[in-house]
Structure formats: C-alpha cells, structure tokens
Structure 1
Amino acid sequence: MAYSPWIGNLKVNGRSGNYGTVKLLLDETTGGATPQLQVTVEIAAQGIPPEGFEVELFSNLNRRDFVKTHEPLAESGGDTSYWMPYRMSYQGNSFDNLVFAHSLPVAKCGAYRITARYRAAGSDAWWWHNDFSPWPDRPLQRDCAVVVSPGKAARACLYEANALTVEALAGGSYENRSTLDDFLSTHDFDGFNPFQLTYITGELGFNTLWLMPVFPNTQWRWDRQNWTWAPNDSPGSPYSSRDYWSINRWLADNAAADRALELFQTLFREAGDAELDIFIDLAFNHAGRDVIYGAGAVDLSFCILQEAENWIREHRPSWCTRGTAFVDGHSVPYYREAAHSDFECAVWAPADRLNEHIWDDANVDWFFGDYSALGPKPGRASDYFGNPVTHWDPKGNAEDERDLFYTDLAADSDTEKLWQYFGYILPYWIEKSGGKLAGIRADFAQGLPNQLWEYIVNRTRKARWDFVFLAEVLDPDVIQYRLNRVFDVLTTKDHHLYRMNGVRMTELFHSLEAESTLFGGDALVMHNGSSHDEVDNDDKWAMMARYAVIAAMYGCPMVFMGQPLGLADKLPFRDSWANMYKAWTEHIPEREAVGRMYLRINQARAATPELREPNRYFLGLVGGGFHEEIFSVARWRRENEERDAVTLVFVNLNVSWGNAGTFRLPDNIRLSGRYQARNLVADDARRALWPEPRDADDIYQNGVYVVFTLANEVQYLKLEPV
C-alpha cells in the first residue's frame, strides 16, 4: 500500500497548537528564569522507523529584531533570517504515530508563530503541518500563535483623556479648548489647573495615561444627504488622521505645530518623572480624505521633502481601497482591489464592511492587501441606503479564520511599501518622545490583517521591547480570538455590565468565564465601564464600585476622564468643542472621597501580586449559590510549599443599601496555620477585622462573613498568616 503522509497534533506546552494561542509575560531586563516552550508533533509513520524522517519545528520566535514584511522560504535559517527551522527529536509513539519534540527558550517579547514540517530521509520534498486536516472533512491545520508580552502589561491601570476636552474652559468653542500644557505642572498658562499628571497618579493612583488621538484630523467629511464634501472642523473626529507624523496644532496654546510637538515631548518628560506610562490612540485601518505622506514617507524615501504635503489618494491611490460601482441598481464591492485613481478610492471606511459602519470622516480606507478575513460579517451586508443585500465572497469574510494572505508582498510592491509606512509610525514616535512612548490603543484593530499586525508589533519592539499593544475589538468571538493571537491586551465586549446599577453577580461571572473560555486564562483583557464611545453612569459611587470589580481581576482596569467626577455623558468630542469645566468647578463634597477610593483600589492592586495574576475562584455562599448583590472572588498565588497568598474581594453591587453574606473558600486554595484579615482599601488598612485570629480549618468549615453597611462598599480582604 502506498504511503499516505500526515503530520499533525501539534502541541505547545501540552495544549493543542492547531490555531492555538500561547500568551506569556516576560521582563527582558531582570535576567530571571527564561520561559520554555515544549513543542511536540506527530507523524503517521505507517511502519517507517523514526530515523526515516527529518522533522523540524519552524518559527520566528525570538526573531523580532530581524522582522521583515515577507521572507522567502529559501532565505530562512540564516544568521539574520526572520524564520528559523529547529531539528526535532524522536520522543516515542502515540498509538501508531511517531512523536517528535523540541524545546525553545522564550527570550524576546513579540508576536510569533509556530508550525512544523517533515520529509522522508534523503528527500527534498517537505510536508507541512498546515497542508493537512486534523480529521477528514475538517479545515486545514494552522499555525500556533505565541504572544510574548512585557510583564508590565499586566500591571497597567489606564486613565483615558481627550487633550482638547479635559481642561477646556466654559464656552464650548475652539478658543476655550484645552491643550497639552494643561497636563503639565510647570507649563499651564491659563490659570485654570484642576487637572494635571499628578492628579492621575497621586490623587487617583493610575499608572498609565491613554491619550485619545493627538494627530491632526481630517478637515473633510462626506455629506451623505447631499452626496458632497462638507467641512469637518467642529472639531471633527481625531480617529480620521490627516498626518500620522505631526502633532495637532490645536494642542498648542498658540496653535503652532512646532509648539504642539514641543509640548508633546515635555509631556513625556514629566510623565517619566511621575512614573506614568503614556499610550497614544491610533486608527490604522482608515484616515481622512486629505491624509498626506508626511515626514515618515520622506524618511522612507517614498517621496521627497517637497512632496510631503501631497495627498496620498491623489499621488499614490494604490495604497487606498477601491470603492464601489453601481451596476443595475446594485452596489458592486471592490474591497479586494487597490484603487487606480483618486476617483476610484472608497468614499468611506471600512469599505469591506459594506455599510455596516459608515464613518463619514474616514474617507481613505487603506488597502493592506487581499486576505481571507476581508469582507462583511455574514448576514450584515447592505447597500448604501441600508437595505440588506445577499453577499457571498468565495475568498472569505470578516469571520473567516483560515488566516490566508493572498497578496504577493514582493520587494518594492505598493503593498509592501504601505506595510513599511505603517510599521515605521510607532518607532518614529518612540524616538520623538525620547524613548518614552509606552503603548498604543489600536482603534478598529480588526481592520488590519494579522500578518501586518505581527510585522508592526515586532518592528516596534525593535525600538522599545516593552511597548504594549491594546486592541479595540468589539466584533464577534471569532474576530476577537483572531486579534488575541497578536495583541497583548484586548477590550471587553461587555463594558455595559460595568456601568449598570442593576448588574448581578451571575452576569459578571458568566461574562468573565466566557472571556476566559474564548481567550484562555492567561489572556489580558481591558475592562471598563466608560470610555469616549460609551454613555456613562452619573452615580460616581456606583462607578467606583464597578471599577473595584475590574481592578480585582487579571487584566487591565480602565476609566474615562469623566468617570471619577460623576459625568454621565461620553462627551461629544466629534461634533462639538466639549468641555469639563462645570464638572471641575462645581462644589461636590464627595469628589475627594470618591477619588481616595480609586487611589486605594489602585494602590492595593499595585501592592498585592495575587490581584495581578490569573488565579481566581468566584465565591459562593456557605449555603450554596452566589449572593447576587455581592461580587465575590478569591485571588491567590503560590507563596510557599504550604500555603498560598490570598486576597478575597467583595464588592456591594447594591447602589441603595448594605448587604451581608457568609462565603465559602474552596479546598484548592491552600491555607495553613492561623490568619487575621484586614481590608486593604479601608480608612485604616492595618486594622485587624476579626476579634481573634482564625485557624485555617475554621475558615474552610465556617466561611468568611462579610457585612456591608454602605451601598457600593468595597472590601479587599487580605488573609495574613499570624
């Protein structure tokens, strides 16, 4: 019988590697123990002995410093190659299959992939893991993703701010806008200074500032009613950039671009002194109609200095997605093609979603190539007027998980140049910030192929190894999972739960467990109740309590600038010159008390390692079931051979009155000896809460009694050995 080749059952650290994702944290500067990846794969040998095969693991792990847009297979394996083969050794048999293994150290943060291949001894023909299905009639196998994130990503607590709004004066006009000097302690010129970096760090305890986009935004907007262009200066959306390579002049007190850059750089210097990381917000999927080449294109020799102000859609339309044509009354999509002229460029973005979104000021949709995940979500396509249309694309759709890239990234192709253009943006701003730019929040991150994100991540990490990538992905699970294979942190889709007065423990439990099931327990998720996109809850105490829930979980807790002040409005930054003047100047006696609670929660999280690690157990009552009005979770980490370090988090979800309950600890949390409890967020965090220390057996048998005398009360109970 003829030999039938097959390679499969790829496993990484014991887990399935077929379209799997491994998430690791690493600090490249500590010199501690290096994580290892143990990779195994099986071959259907059909009686051929192990020495009859040559088996290789194939990966770009640790090779970020040699990142390329594309590397031909023949160029892999060299000293400066991006992809490397590693010989795998025979380990034994799994039923009738031969098992081969190889161990790789994890030494550099980056976004990587792993696959495997084999050939018969003496043959030149390789058979790849991705050529076969795991079972008949199943999709072909795919790479395993390995996301190695900087350890500080798990410590980030984010405060989001709009620099034009956060300290704008009353009046709501361009003249009343706030500017970057309003963030500074030494350069605030208008005499109104309730907000600055020390407010974020010292009064609230956040360690990361997320700045909404700071680049010049487009001055054009598509008027759908009149099929024409309209001005976009009121102030317009910052998520449609005009120039990726300069700071919006509106962010300077004198409205000068050079001054805006100077203040931007001063901001990073002061943030460094305050031990505050800064993330910038960027939309890479789309830009404004008038987006220009900018300084980066000059650096990359894509244009000369005299052409830096040229509109890209006019001078290099092949970087833009082709739009639509109307044929027999139907809209024909060309989203898998590059435009050939300014006239052909798509009028709005994202062009491939076929009117699921129409962002009127996003009038350039970048053409990053043709790949399987382009296209509308199934069942969501419509024509320009919103009428549903039947759409089927044999190449794929937004939920396609084959991870195929159809475009040839040949050297000097237009697509390769566009990838290089976007791969240079973050290193450029790392340099301009004096090396201090710490991360990005990627708007509509699903609008780029994963292969491009991998290039951007690794290209950026050549400039700063601990740069953090946060993705906004609010689409279905398969799309979220795909982006999790590249990004350090993803946003939750369930942010509405964390601003609901009536949210219950079961809802929070199911949401958090569903995220863990989808992404894996080691994935970092940013949780939030408010943002620039969300209508808030004006009950500042309830929002503080919801923040206490998310700060107690593994991931990245986040607030929008108005949340600690009790603002219910997301602030209409696009269509008006919004301001927070009233929120800052009104006499609100509770404001300082609410701020102190954010500070205590963030300080407790920073000082308590188990709150920043994955282990968790949602606590039920001694009598069974959840207390629906009390969020309850145990967080622990291995302390020594006998016991774990344990913090129990309880948050009263009731916004009107107190609560009480007795909660049972599971046996798999190891307690030994006697314990006392203290509340890490209390007025007196050192005060013992129990009249006498309790034995571990007593805690297991009788549980932990918690009483809340106040609505929205928070208790982070540290169990301390006596």
Structure 2
Amino acid sequence: MKNPLAKILPAVLVLAPSLLDASILRISPDSTSRLANEVEGNYTTSHIYIDEVAADSVPITIFFDPQAINIETCEVYTNLNRRDRAQLDADGDGIEDGIKPVNGSLIPAGNDNHYFKAYTMAGVSGGYQLTLDANKTGAYRLTVRYRFNGEPAGTWHYYNDEFVGGNFKRDHCLVVSPKKARDIILYEVNPLSILAEGTLPSQRGTFADLANGLGPGHAPRFSMDYVKSLGANTLWFQPIHPNGIDGRQIDPDTSQPFEVGSPYAVKNFFEVMPLMAKSFTPGGTPASNDTPAGRAQALTEFQSFSASADAAGVDVMLDAPFNHTSYDTELAALGQTLFGNGGTTAASEMRNTEARFFARANAYDMRASGSGNIALAPDRNDFGKFADTYEVYYGRYAALVSGSTNGFQSESDWFDYSIGSEASSGDGNAHFDAITQKVWRYFAEYTLHWLTQSGYPANPTGASLDSTAGVDSLRADFGQGLPPQCWEYIINKTRTRKWNFTFMAESLDGGAVTYRSARHFDILNENIVFPLHAAQNTTDFRNIYENRRNAYGQALVLLNTSSHDEDHYQDPWHALVRYAANSSIDGVPLIFPGQELGLSGAVVPPGDTQAGITPFGYDRYEVNFGKPIPHFKKYNSLMPLWLKTTPGDPSYNYGLSQLAKVYEGIGQARKFSKALKSSNRYFLNLNDNSPHGQIFSVAKFQTRNAAPNNSDVVLSFVNLDRNATPATIGTNKFNVNIDTDANGMNDFGIKPGRTYNVKNIAAYLGTDPTRRDTFLIPGGISGSDLLSQGLFISLNRVPTTDGAWATAPYEAQYLKLYDVTPPPAPAAPSPSLALFGTVIGNQVTFTWIPASDPEGGISGYRIQIGTTPGGTDLLDAQKSLTTQSITAPYGTTLYARVSQINAAGIPGLYSTASAAITILDPAADHDGDGQSNAAEHTAGTDPRSST
C-alpha cells in the first residue's frame, strides 16, 4: 500500500534493493502481546468477532522488524475502525475515499481526517511494536512503513515494497465481524415455491403467505414458527428482484422463454418481483408479469413480511449478483441519477444509456463501447458463461481474467486506479474514471436501499444501534467476481449504517479464490458439498473441517450439503448425517428447503450425481451441469413432500416424517449451545488414540479449562452409518483426558474430585418431549473415572419400523457436560432485625451466605421455613436470591434452613436450621412489664422477660 493511487510496478524494486527483501511483520490478534503462533503479515488475514452494543474491544498486537539500522520511525498504516470514512472525501477530489484512497505518503502520523491513519510504533527489543484495539466491524487493511534518519518528511519505505516469491508483499487484512455471525443457522428460501400448492401461476407462493403462513387445511406448513422449530434463525432468499426478459433462457418443454426466468439475471436491483405479491394477478407473458403497479404491490408485501420476520426473531439474508445483470437491466432511480440524462428514466435500460457500465466482449479488462459489444458473465475462460447475463465492469485488478485461463487465481492483490485510453488495455489503462467509480457507488447503495425499505433506522451518525429491524445479511452471488477493494468499500459503507450486517461470498473454487474472499467476507459459500459427498468415515469428515480451518483460519464456512445449484442425496438420511456432523462444527449450517422433509436426488456417496436416478420432492426439476436440481426458472412446488409428511394423506410416510424431528433436535441444540458455535474444538479419539471409524466425535468448548457449569462444554457424537448401531467396545472408550496447552488442566474443565453427567441437547423429541432434559449416566461418573477410563458411547441406527422411533430413535448425541457434584451446605439462615430470638411485626426476612462452589456454580436455593426445625409448613420454595421474607401470625415461632442448587440443577445438603425466631405484636406487652414489645426492642431489652 505504498501508493494506493496506482498499481505498484516492478520498477519500484530499483529504489533501494538492499533494503527491500527481509523485513518481518507479525500479527497477534486478540492479544496485547506477541503470541507464539503470531502470523506473518504478508497476505494473511485475522478474523475477529465483536459486539458493538456491548462495547467489545479486541486487542491486536503488531510487531515489525525492518531488518535495517538507522531507522528514524516506524508506523502502522491502517483503516482499522475507520469504516465511517469510506464514504467521505477528505482530500476534496470529489471521490469517496473508500473508492479511491488518498496517497498514504501524504498522511502524517496521528492525522485523523482520512480513511486510513498512521500510528507511530514504539521501539522494543528486536524491532517495533504497537497494540491497536478493534472496536468497529468492517473489512480493513494493515501494513507498516518506516523512514531512515536524514530522509525528508513524506519519504516512506513500505513493507509492501518488498518483492518475495513472485509477488510484492501485500497487506494484512482484518475482518472484524459481528459476533452474531457465529450464531447464524440458515434456511434457504425461494418465495415462489416454498408455500406453492402446485405449478400454476395462481398456486405460487408469495411474501404475504410467508408472513402469515397458509394456515389449517393446507399441506405446506412453512411459517416463521416452522423455521424456528428447526433451530434456524436466518432465511436466505434467492434474489427477489424482477428477472430479465431479454436474453431469458428458453424452456425446452415449451420452446418459449421460461415463465419465471432466472433470479440471477436481475432486471432491477431496487425493486421486488411482482409475482411475489399475492395481490398481483399474473399475466400470460413475461412482460405482463412485470409491471410498475405489480412491483409496488410486491414491495409492500415484502415490507410486511420483513416486519413479521423481525417480530418473530428471524433474520433475512438477501442474495444479489453484483458481478452481472440481465441484458435489459434498468437504471433504476439511482442509476438515473448516476448515469441517466434528459432522455432517460429510471426504467431505461443500462446498456442503451451507459454501456461502459459493462465489460467488453472478449476483453474483460476493458469497458463496452456500446450495446453491441457487452461481455457475457463471468470473466472466466475455464468454464461456460451465464448465457442470460452481462458482466459488470469494476476496474482492472489482479484476479480479473482477460485472455488467460488461470488469472482468477492471482494473489497479487493489486488494483489499478489509472484511467488511460478507452481504446487500450493493460498497465495504465484501467478506465477507473467517474463512470466506473459510479458503478461502485451504484452497488454500494444496494444494501442501504434495502435497509431503508425494510425499516432499519437512517442512523446518520453511524451509531452502534441495538436494533433488530431491517434485512440482516447479503449473500454475494459470484462474490469472487468483484475487486477486493470494492467489497471492502461496500462492506464498510453498509456497516456504517448497520454495524452487525453480515456478508457471505459465493466463492466456489476453494483454494486461492476462496482465500481471497476470506480477506473481506464473514462467511464463505465455497465447495464443501463435494468432499461431503465423498466422506465415508470419521477421518474423512475431520479432514474436510481441518482443511478449511487451515485454509481460512477463523472465517466462517457455509456448512451446506446442497444448495439451489446442486443435486441432493438419493437417501435423505445421508444429508441428515452430514448436517449433524456440520452442526457440531463452527461455521454456518444450512438446510435447503425440503431437505428436512426427505428431499431425494441422485447423489450416492462416495460419488457425486449418478445417472439414471429420478429425484423426488419438487414438482419440477431441471438439469444443471448434468445434475438434477429443483427448478427455479419455472413455477414449482414442494407439494410431493409436504403431502408425504402430512398425516392422513395417502402418500404419508411416518418414518420420513420423523426426519424433521431429528433436524429440530440438532438445530435447537446448535441454537442453544455457545460451545457448538464456538471455534474451540478437539477431535476425540478412542483410548487407543485411533478415531472410531463410524462415530464422528468432537469436543466443543466455550472456554478452555473452564468448569463445565460455568462455561459450555459439549461432547458431540454422530453416527455416520444410518444402517448401523456403532458403539465403543470394552475399555476402548472415547478419551476426554485432553490437555493441549500442557498447563496441567483438562481442556474441558474435568477434575478428578468432581462428579459429572451429560444430557443430549440434540435429542429426538418426536415421541417424548422430556428426553433432552434427562441425565444419561445413572448416578453420574467421577471425574477421575472419566479421565482415566473415558466415555462410553452407543448410537442408534435409523429405525426400520415406526415403533422403533419411540424406543431407539436415530439422533445426534450432543452431550452437554454437567458438574453434578452436590454443592456444600450454606450457613444457617439468619433473620434480619432479630433481637433476643424475636422480631417485631408479622414479617421475618431471612438471609444467608452462599457456600463457596466455584466449580459447580450457583443457580438458586431451596428455602424451607416451618414451625419446627426442618419444617416446611410455612414455605418450601426455590429462589434465586439469598434472602426470603415470610409473613406469619403473631406469636409464631419459626425456623428456616436452606439448600444450595448448583448450575446443573443439583441440590446440596441443607444447612442447619436457624435459631428459633418468634414473631411479636409491636403493640402488645409480651412480658407484662408495662412496655410494649416494640419499645423494648428499640431499647434493646428482651420483650419476653420482665427482668
């Protein structure tokens, strides 16, 4: 980032070659000091999670050794926490600084006016060091610069000047995500099909149906409550916008354009498709199905749905392909402002108004010169084109493909800010003028527009609002197809408005492509579906998850077994098995609509799609790259599966209908457990140090070494063979005696002198709603036995009879660990304001001091008050406070005792009973000495004794 106004050229190397080859930049996230596992800054990424409402602040320590002497000063140069300045223009050049940053060499240390800021580092042994705090979500960059003694002010040598391994060193990226990103459990939705009752236009689903549900008498049961019953908390919508008409693909069944068209060929990014409105009456042609009045109706219904989702606590993720548009995409109101003229309107087509919005055919690093030479999307040469879409031009950058096959894998990370000649390409001819800069602004307004339309506050000050209103996330279709710098601008501009908005990138290649997306996105929609097809045993699954951790660090991976572009498993239980394993791992689990009902495709593990298999679940399918997928370019419905899981229907299948109950158990556990969502994990082996081949096993914990009652610990086990009943054999149980940091403490907080038990928080509840709340180890197990002997596990197969679901159901075992050691007894309760064993008035307040039990914790107390020691005739109740008042008749003598309840709900022994306490009437004279009971109490004399 020596000069962010221009692409760095190799000529830079000749400036000071002896100084530009050996500097060290190390990053230690979440630490105020250097860590043993600190990472080199060159093209690496730190993922950090914060809650701005809670005022979270996460330290990041930066160490730099320039490998040179005679240094005057070293500075960190970054835009960390400065998202709100992406849309400002500090240098007055008329361009937002997030689009075209100011030359960093012109910004002195401490200057707070710009998108980027320089911070002076302190000299330490071996180099220079600085700790900064991440306290605002966003997509940021960081590098270091230094100056030698005697060099003029403004002269800087940047870490990025160094040429190593065929590339200049590149920025370290800081992705500061909202903590809620870790909590997301997705359910993908197409509004037209999820509640459709057939394939006629009049039977389509709509936003009004989504908001209210169809109600009794209808087979489709989808509703917000249905979503929440599955544990899901976020709906991912395929694009909801009007679909393109010109260029629409042809339906082979009718030889006419598809009746709905592809949602990924967007005609207007700022409107809602009329067909999604219940109040809209479809016409007989694509044009009659897209009218201004219909768009207005659809927007109103979308807004009502959005409010309903907010009220239900269900988030909304929109999906949009910023990389490409339909042929006939419209300016929209924003486009009319940015690109239009006196002869155009918001409904005018972009290609006929400003063709430079698009890339040029056969030259993706140039702009189209007219509607006749616009490039089809995408810019890739290694597979086909999206035949109904045009490629949007964002500028010239390292990974843009033009004339090569592998350019998309480039990790050079440069962006060319030059303009040059419209007729030329290559260095210095990036065409990054006002037109292309407006393209960035156009798409950056997308999220802001839909936040407004869905009811999120304007938030002009960029405050960290505690608001659940409005859309919550964006899935970026073909997100890899934009420059990283553009995504950073879009993300930071959005987060200035809504700090906890999340972003998911479709970046299906894996490798260098998805790694690039991980440098700015929270969630990665990559290619995990294919290794999941092949996975057959525990080692296979571990490798899938470890490979992604090693590749993307703490970035969240979409844990999907399928999607709208992919085939499904022939056996729906194979999808469930993988969902169960996925849901035990940090990331974002996904349910595809119908998966929980028994959707069946042509995938047969360990292979992918197999020929000759007929899919089942939807009314209509199409073949996509040789795979049968539910059709979304035509009216479609899930009625075959809704009916098959509806009691009383002739096609009803009881066993299949239990599939959803298993999904519910898994999803509810995931939603409930902080450990399951945490990135802290350890794959459990048997005592002989081998994995169990057919039981996937992982320990998840919220905080290493913490007591289980104080910090969530879940030992997760999944049967990978739906036709078998695997179990540990003899003494070869699962080893939980793990101390990875060698500090002498068990990672999961297990201690020899305590007693433990487990509950299956993912239990199948279809026939018994109490199963999730039952301790599974009779009498518990001592910590010493658990550490020395291990944990016995036995898992059920998928039942072959209906009755077996009540006795031996298939389920994931997410075993939440509890410390069930009975807590010690507190001290005896003490009555307040008591004197000589009496209180004045008809109310007594007892207080007590809790017993110390740091391992077990305290969830409450059992207080008993009676007229005899240990009696309960006056009160026997569970309380959360250490005080209890009781009213009784005058003259009553009473006693109290208390038992402590630990955080696992286990009660301890009762305290000794309190001393007897008698309630006296303040106006009476109990001892007949002429003084009232109240007067004697005030005087400090015994009201029951006249002497």
What letter is aligned with 2:598?
G
Among 41, 53, 64, which residue is 2:83 paired with? 64
Q: In structure 2, how many angstroms separate the alpha carbons of the residues matched to 1:258 and 1:129?
A: 53
* Residue 223 to residue 241, structure 1, CA distance change in 2 (3 Å): closer
Contact 1:564 1:594 in 2 (8 A): yes
Is 1:483 aligned with 2:517? yes
1:109-188 aligned at under 5 Å gives the runs 109-124=137-152, 125-133=155-163, 138-170=166-198, 172-185=199-212
Q: Which structure is richer in relative contact order (CA contacts within 8 A, separation 6 or more)?
A: 1
Q: In structure 1, how many angstroms separate the alpha carbons of the residues matched to 2:341 and 2:113?
A: 29
Deviation digits for residues 291-340 of structure 1, max 9, x if unmatched?
Answer: 0111222455755695211111121111111003xxxxxxxxx1110011
Q: In structure 2, how many angstroms separate the alpha carbons of the residues matched to 1:438 and 1:185?
A: 20
TM-score by length of 2: 0.68
1:6-405 aligned at under 5 Å gives the runs 6=20, 8-13=23-28, 14-32=38-56, 34-46=57-69, 48=70, 52-67=71-86, 68-73=98-103, 76=107, 78-93=111-126, 99-124=127-152, 125-133=155-163, 138-170=166-198, 172-185=199-212, 194-201=221-228, 203-221=229-247, 232-255=257-280, 256-298=294-336, 300=338, 306-324=344-362, 334-346=363-375, 348-350=376-378, 352-354=379-381, 356-362=383-389, 364-375=390-401, 392=404, 397-405=407-415
Is 1:606 aligned with 2:671? yes
Query: 1:574, CA displacement in angstroms?
Result: 4.0
Query: 1:88, CA displacement in angstroms?
Result: 1.0
Q: In structure 2, how many angstroms separate the alpha carbons of the residues matched to 1:141 and 1:3?
A: 14
* Residue 710 to residue 90, structure 1, CA distance change in 2 (3 Å): same
Query: 1:246, CA displacement in angstroms?
Result: 0.3
Q: Which residue of 2 aligns with 1:331?
A: none
What letter is aligned with 1:263?
E
Q: In structure 1, how many angstroms separate the alpha carbons of the residues matched to 2:473 and 2:203?
A: 29
Q: In structure 2, how many angstroms separate the alpha carbons of the residues matched to 1:580 and 1:185?
A: 18
Among 739, 750, 757, which residue is 1:671 paired with? 750
Deviation digits for residues 170-198 of structure 1, max 9, x if unmatched?
Answer: 2x233332111120227889966522222
SS in 1 for 2:377: coil
TM-score by length of 1: 0.88
* Residue 274 to residue 215, structure 1, CA distance change in 2 (3 Å): same
Deviating more after overlay: 306-315 vs 3-12 = 3-12
Deviating more after overlay: 484-493 vs 702-711 = 702-711
Q: In structure 2, how many angstroms separate the alpha carbons of the residues matched to 1:18 and 1:714?
A: 41
Contact 1:651 1:714 in 2 (8 A): yes
* Residue 459 to residue 397, structure 1, CA distance change in 2 (3 Å): same
Query: 1:465, CA displacement in angstroms?
Result: 0.7
Query: 1:238, CA displacement in angstroms?
Result: 0.3
What letter is aligned with 1:454?
E
SS in 1 for 2:195: coil
Contact 1:116 1:129 in 2 (8 A): yes
Is 1:706 aligned with 2:732? no
Q: Which residue of 1 aligns with 2:910?
A: none
Q: In structure 2, how many angstroms separate the alpha carbons of the residues matched to 1:679 and 1:495?
A: 27
Contact 2:562 2:568 in 1 (8 A): yes
SS in 2 for 1:675: strand
Q: Which residue of 2 aligns with 1:493?
A: 527
Contact 1:288 1:361 in 2 (8 A): yes
Deviation digits for residues 475-498 of structure 1, max 9, x if unmatched?
Answer: 140111111001001124121354
Contact 1:182 1:193 in 2 (8 A): no
Contact 1:219 1:233 in 2 (8 A): no
Q: In structure 2, how many angstroms separate the alpha carbons of the residues matched to 1:690 and 1:179?
A: 49
SS in 1 for 2:713: strand
Q: In structure 1, how many angstroms separate the alpha carbons of the residues matched to 2:239 and 2:707?
A: 50
Among 540, 543, 549, which residue is 2:581 paired with? 549
RMSD: 2.6
Query: 1:540, CA displacement in angstroms?
Result: 3.7
Contact 1:313 1:341 in 2 (8 A): yes
* Residue 190 to residue 472, structure 1, CA distance change in 2 (3 Å): farther
SS in 2 for 1:360: strand
Deviation digits for residues 691-719 of structure 1, max 9, x if unmatched?
Answer: 22222221122111111232353111112
Q: In structure 2, how many angstroms separate the alpha carbons of the residues matched to 1:484 and 1:720?
A: 36
* Residue 122 to residue 9, structure 1, CA distance change in 2 (3 Å): same
Q: In structure 2, how many angstroms separate the alpha carbons of the residues matched to 1:312 and 1:189?
A: 46
Deviation digits for residues 582-609 of structure 1, max 9, x if unmatched?
Answer: 2212323245532232222222122221
* Residue 192 to residue 595, structure 1, CA distance change in 2 (3 Å): closer
Gaps of 5+ in 2: 1-15, 29-37, 87-97, 281-293, 420-430, 457-469, 602-627, 645-651, 740-746, 766-770, 799-809, 821-947
SS in 2 for 1:335: strand
Aligned pairs, number: 674
Query: 1:637, CA displacement in angstroms?
Result: 2.6
* Residue 305 to residue 465, structure 1, CA distance change in 2 (3 Å): farther
Q: In structure 1, how many angstroms separate the alpha carbons of the residues matched to 2:194 and 2:444?
A: 30
Q: Which residue of 1 aligns with 2:592?
A: 560
Query: 1:558, CA displacement in angstroms?
Result: 0.5
Deviation digits for residues 528-562 of structure 1, max 9, x if unmatched?
Answer: 11211111125444433321111111111001111
Q: Which residue of 1 aligns with 2:19?
A: 5
What letter is aligned with 1:158?
L
Contact 1:492 1:527 in 2 (8 A): no
Q: In structure 2, how many angstroms separate the alpha carbons of the residues matched to 1:571 and 1:642?
A: 47
* Residue 320 to residue 641, structure 1, CA distance change in 2 (3 Å): closer
SS in 2 for 1:451: helix
What letter is aligned with 2:243?
N
Contact 1:181 1:187 in 2 (8 A): no
Contact 1:60 1:82 in 2 (8 A): yes
* Residue 489 to residue 652, structure 1, CA distance change in 2 (3 Å): same
Gaps of 5+ in 1: 94-98, 325-333, 377-390
Contact 1:490 1:524 in 2 (8 A): yes
Q: In structure 2, how many angstroms separate the alpha carbons of the residues matched to 1:302 and 1:314?
A: 10
* Residue 265 to residue 39, structure 1, CA distance change in 2 (3 Å): same
Query: 1:674, CA displacement in angstroms?
Result: 1.8
Q: In structure 2, how many angstroms separate the alpha carbons of the residues matched to 1:645 and 1:579?
A: 41
Contact 1:446 1:479 in 2 (8 A): yes
SS in 2 for 1:45: coil
* Residue 224 to residue 402, structure 1, CA distance change in 2 (3 Å): farther
Contact 1:498 1:547 in 2 (8 A): no
Q: Which residue of 1 aligns with 2:544?
A: 511
Deviation digits for residues 364-396 of structure 1, max 9, x if unmatched?
Answer: 1001111110117xxxxxxxxxxxxxx658xx8
* Residue 304 to residue 116, structure 1, CA distance change in 2 (3 Å): farther
Q: In structure 2, how many angstroms separate the alpha carbons of the residues matched to 1:122 and 1:565?
A: 73
What letter is aligned with 2:80?
L
Is 1:460 aligned with 2:494? yes
* Residue 373 to residue 79, structure 1, CA distance change in 2 (3 Å): same
Q: In structure 1, how many angstroms separate the alpha carbons of the residues matched to 2:141 and 2:561?
A: 33
Q: In structure 1, how many angstroms separate the alpha carbons of the residues matched to 2:414 and 2:308?
A: 44
Deviating more after overlay: 466-475 vs 233-242 = 233-242
Is 1:649 aligned with 2:716? yes
Q: Which residue of 2 aligns with 1:718?
A: 816
Q: Which residue of 2 aligns with 1:471?
A: 505
Larger radius of gyration: 2
Q: In structure 2, how many angstroms separate the alpha carbons of the residues matched to 1:56 and 1:490?
A: 32
Q: In structure 2, how many angstroms separate the alpha carbons of the residues matched to 1:174 and 1:642?
A: 58
